[in-house]
Amino acid sequence: MIEVGHLLGLLGEFVLVALYTLSNSHFETILRCFSDLEIR
């Protein structure tokens, strides 16, 4: 049987990576929007 602590650790790591990826993609999108506004 898998230890609950180990499972929680893996889950927490996955969530952190997912949040990091999401925030990075949103950050790039926001930067693109700002650069588009400045160019016009």
Is the confidence at residue 40, as pLDDT, over 90? no
Alpha-carbon distance 17 to 40, whole Å? Answer: 35
Give all strands (DSSP E) within 1-40, no chain letters.
none
Per-residue pLDDT reduced to its tens digit, 5-26: 999 999 999 999 999 998 888 8
Domain positions in the chain are 1-40
DSSP class of residue 26 equals H
Question: Model pTM?
Answer: 0.54
